């Protein structure tokens, strides 16, 4: 059985204010995903603002995560897949039942 974390590589990113952050690659942590959901609810599809919340992910990573998240929500709700375009409204997914 392989350890997924051993394949993970991180890189550094410097914000406009000069602060350095480590950018994660690979699977999103539960904490990162929860921050993503909070940012999506707060800012809608303003990916840069959500990236300001999630210091460990880039804007591109957040947009890609959103696209996959919208596909998963669409699959479970039977609704069409939402676009990551800022012009479309964000629809909140139904709450997930824990097993």
- Predicted confidence pLDDT, tens digits, the chain (99 residues): 444 444 455 666 666 666 767 899 899 999 999 999 999 999 999 999 999 999 999 999 999 999 999 999 998 888 888 777 766 555 555 566 666
The H-assigned helical ranges of the chain are: 30-43, 47-53, 59-77
How large is the C-alpha radius of gyration of the chain? Answer: 15
Residue 45 is predicted with a pLDDT of 94
Residue 87 is predicted with a pLDDT of 62
pTM of the shown model: 0.68
Whole-number Å distance between alpha carbons of 85 and 61: 15
Residue 93 is predicted with a pLDDT of 59
Q: How far is residue 65 CA from its own chain's centroid? A: 4
Contact of 35 with 53, CB cutoff 8 Å: yes
């Amino acid at each position: 059985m392989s350890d997924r974390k051993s394949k993970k590589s991180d890189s550094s990113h410097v914000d406009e204010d000069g602060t350095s952050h480590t950018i994660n690659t690979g699977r999103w942590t539960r904490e990162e995903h929860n921050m993503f959901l909070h940012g999506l609810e707060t800012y809608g599809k303003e990916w840069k603002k959500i990236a300001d919340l999630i210091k460990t992910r880039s804007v591109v990573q957040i947009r890609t995560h959103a696209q996959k998240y919208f596909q998963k929500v669409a699959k479970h709700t039977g609704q069409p897949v939402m676009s990551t375009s800022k012009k479309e409204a964000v629809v909140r997914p139904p709450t997930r039942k824990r097993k």
